[in-house]
Copies of this chain bind each other. A is one copy, B any other.
Amino acid sequence: MEFNKVAIKSLTLVDQVEEQILSYIVKNKLTSGTEIPSEFILAENFNVGRNVVREALSRLRMLGIIESRKHKGMVVREPDVMKNFSKVVNPYLLSKQSLLNLLDLRVSIESGITELIIHNITDEDIMEIESIVSKHIYQDEMKLKVENEIEFHSKLYHITKNQAIIDLLEMILPLFVYVNEKHENFKPINEKNKGKLIKHEDLIPFLKNRDVDGYRQAIYNHLKAYSEYVKQNRIIY
């Protein structure tokens, strides 16, 4: 576990040590629970100050790759794949283009998980969805309270039983809330899509019939009408 100090000029020592520690974990295939050397030992081995090691460890700790137990030592952990997203998926930190990209990504995933949903969904799920929809409060012809939006779609995500999908989509959902609040009079209705506007309750029959193609088309139209409206009316920022 040695490396050539200042081998790459543009990187700081912290950057290099971070990389070295990570590659030390990966190369040695250290699994969750494995202890790693103390800060002092690491600093000695890398021939750097302890605070350099601490900064590098601090980053890995944030990523969830290591966990430090106070006064005991550090161990390797399995990182939460999506968790680190949440800090940067923030409408105030991202550009308009990034937000639009994420909204389109959501449309793609949410229609792309159709097979998973139709395959996994139970009658209990459908009953729960009907219960959620029945509580819906339309503030407008089309605009739901954001809590209702989140509750409904989040329920759909959980049917996939895929935690990566659930986490990723639930992370993007707040962006929708942000956009929604930015535009009080949001009405995703225009000449083109007036006929095929889909509300939450319209999705239920497709779920009941386990109609893959029908549901996919419906959820796509449901989301696309919204995202097209956002783009065309430039309601972000």
Contacts and interface: CB of A to CB of B under 8 A. Distances in A.
A64 B51 CA distance: 21
Contact of A213 (B93, B112, B163, B213): B213
Contact of A165 (B51, B93, B104, B163): B104
A223 B111 CA distance: 16
A122 interface: no
A112 B106 CA distance: 9
Interface in A129-155: none
B108 A165 contact: yes
B88 A84 contact: yes
How many copies the complex holds: the figure is 2
Count class of interface residues, chain A: 35 or more
Interface stretch (A22-30, A37-45, A190-198, A201-209): A22-30
A110 B93 CA distance: 27
Given A55-B58, A93-B26, A63 B78 contact: no
Contacts of A113: 108, 112
A185 interface: no
A20 interface: no
A229 interface: no
B165 A92 contact: no
Given A14-B58, A51-B51, A54-B51, A81 B92 contact: no
8 contacts: A58-B58, A59-B59, A78-B94, A81-B88, A81-B101, A98-B164, A104-B162, A108-B112
Interface of A: 14, 18, 22, 25-26, 29, 32, 51, 54-55, 58-59, 62-65, 78-81, 84-85, 87-90, 92-95, 98, 101-102, 104-105, 107-113, 115-116, 162-165, 168, 213, 220
Report the 7 A-B pairs with minimum CB-CB distance, sorted nearest first.
A112-B112, A108-B112, A101-B164, A79-B88, A55-B58, A108-B113, A26-B92
